[in-house]
Amino acid sequence: MRPPVFDIDMESFRADPYPVLAKMRADVPIAYVPQLGAIVFTRRDDIFVCEKNIDVFSSHQPDGLMNKLMGHNMMRKDGEAHQRERKMIFPSVSPKTVRDIWQTQFQTIADLLVANLMPKGGADLVTEYAMPLSGEALKVITGLSNISFEEMDRWSQAMIDGIANYHGDPQVEASCHNATAAIDAAIDEMVPVLQKEPDHSLLSVMMQAGLEMDSTRANVKLAISGGQNEPRDAIAGCAWALLTHGAELERVQSGEVTWLQVFEEYARWISPIGMSPRRVAKNHSYESIDFEPEDRVFFMFGSANRDESVFDDASAFDVGRDNQKSIPFGAGPHFCAGAWASRSLVAEVALPTLFSRFTGLGLDPDQPVNFDGWAFRGPQSLAVKWEA
């Protein structure tokens, strides 16, 4: 049979997707959602199994908005084509490179930001710490040292909005085109610089490996579209979670748990990247549901990571939780290549620096914190105060 239909209210879903996702897990774990134009998977084990079946649930989406707007990047390739480019970029994002090259630079950026913030006694952690830290770190990793972190954040958001522009808003599409053109110009400016002085950046290692320039450009845009908002939202989100869960903050400050455990639990609890799209490549049946070629599928990581059949008290923030079955970075061949860099930036640098340097850090009670989004989710602002 074809998947059952499940209607949602987009405004409430964007404000808080978790009640709807919980109902879907209980009643219709695989369903067609007209408002999303996709068949939605909500249970962890179904996603874990089907995401790996790339012969059916393909990342190759030649007519998808990402390909049309950003170019054909490695995330939209399967099999040997995907593995070829993944191998090419590995020297830039490997655990060893992150540890030996990037983490020191991340720390330098964080130290400078904190030094500038300390005398103020308060700030919006999203715009004044998480966003610039994420943007400056991404400049280093991508090799686009010739731009500002504000441009990095703006271009990332424009591309995210563009690839989710299923209703064809011309202004959203134009903004995305402007962002990708600006990225191409920044790449053109850096190519001769990195040819003369190669480094470990994504742009440099792809050039050194001889990857075609169209694919190189597409992969840099991919890194920007996902590599800016995820750590930005995780840094701010983790800070908010700890400041609203004092007992959990005490557990990490006492050494009972690590900052990495904090990050892993937050990424399970409120997945910064909550969804990954796929295209059905051929007729297939799974759990009595019939899939047809060109069906659009959304694997909802944000739902999988709150699956009650996998995680006890799944809606609770518990930094000591066993998160081995959590899939915030996906599973299988498309496991996020930037996962090690993200863990380093958030758990090894951003959070310990923030909580060790500011005395009396707390939320500003006069400024509410609002979260937004379902495919990408994070706080829109985070006003805090400390002893200056």
Q: Mean pLDDT of all residues in the chain?
A: 94
pLDDT in tens, 160-176: 888 877 778 899 999 99
Read out DSSP for 322-379?
--TT--TT--GGGS-TTHHHHHIIIIIIIHHHHHHH-TT-EE-TTS---EE-SSB-EE
Whole-structure pTM over 0.85, yes or no? yes
**pLDDT at residue 141 above 80?**
yes
In this prediction, residue 305 carries a pLDDT of 97
pLDDT in tens, 177-212: 999 999 999 999 999 999 999 999 999 999 999 999
CB atoms within 10 A of CB 92: 26
Contact 381, 127 (CB under 8 A): yes
Closest CA to 141 of 231, 271, 270, 214: 231
pLDDT bucket at 334, cuts 50 / 70 / 90: low
Measured between alpha carbons, how far is 235 from 133 in angstroms, rounded to an integer? 9
Q: DSSP label at 318?
A: -
Mean pLDDT of the region 28-41: 97
CA atoms within 13 A on the CB side of 341: 33
Q: Where is pLDDT greater, at 80 or 251?
A: 251
Q: How far is CA 281 from CA 31, 55, 61, 326, in A?
A: 18, 7, 9, 27
